[in-house]
Amino acid sequence: MLITFEGPEGSGKTTQARLLAEHLRGLGHEVVLTREPGGTPVGDQIRQILHDPDNAGMYAWTEVFLYTASRAQLVAEVIRPALAAGKVVVCDRFYDSTLAYQGYGRGLDLEVLWGITRLATGGLVPDLTLYLDIQPDEGLARRLLGGGEWNRLDQEALAFHRRVRAGYLELAGREPGRWVVIDGARPIPEVQREIQAVVESRLDGGD
How does residue 98 score in pLDDT terms, banded at 50, 70 and 90? very high
β-sheet bridge partners, residue 129: 4, 179
Q: What is the pLDDT of residue 141?
A: 85
Of 157, 147, 89, nearest to 121 by C-alpha is 89
pTM for the whole thing?
0.93
Q: What is the pLDDT of residue 177?
A: 97
**How far apart (Å, rounded) are the C-alpha atoms in residues 18 and 101?**
23
> Taking 80 as the threshold, does the pLDDT of residue 155 lie above it?
no
In this prediction, residues 183-187 reach a mean pLDDT of: 96
- Would you identify the CATH topology of the domain 2-203? Rossmann fold (3.40.50)
> Taking 80 as the threshold, does the pLDDT of residue 84 lie above it?
yes
Q: What is the pLDDT of residue 142?
A: 84
> Taking 90 as the threshold, does the pLDDT of residue 10 lie above it?
no
- SS3 of 74-141: HHHHHHHHHHHCCCEEEEECCHHHHHHHHHHHCCCCHHHHHHHHHHHHCCCCCCEEEEEECCHHHHHH
> Taking 90 as the threshold, does the pLDDT of residue 114 lie above it?
yes
Percentage above 70 pLDDT, the chain: 95
Handedness of CA 182, 191, 5, 2 (dihedral sign): negative
Q: Which helix (H) or strand (E) holds 180?
A: strand 179-183
- Domain residue limits, the chain: 2-203
Phi-psi region of 38 (alpha: psi -120 to 50; beta: other; left: phi over 0): left
With beta carbons less than 8 A apart as the criterion, state whether 130 and 178 touch: no
Q: What is the pLDDT of residue 80?
A: 99
> Taking 90 as the threshold, does the pLDDT of residue 121 lie above it?
yes
Q: What is the pLDDT of residue 34?
A: 99
How does residue 156 score in pLDDT terms, banded at 50, 70 and 90? confident
- The 10s digit of each residue's pLDDT in 85-94 is 999 999 999 9
With beta carbons less than 8 A apart as the criterion, state whether 152 and 200 touch: no
> Taking 80 as the threshold, does the pLDDT of residue 154 lie above it?
no
Q: What is the pLDDT of residue 124?
A: 99
Q: What is the pLDDT of residue 184?
A: 96
How does residue 59 score in pLDDT terms, banded at 50, 70 and 90? very high
The length of the chain in residues reads: 207
Q: What is the pLDDT of residue 167?
A: 98
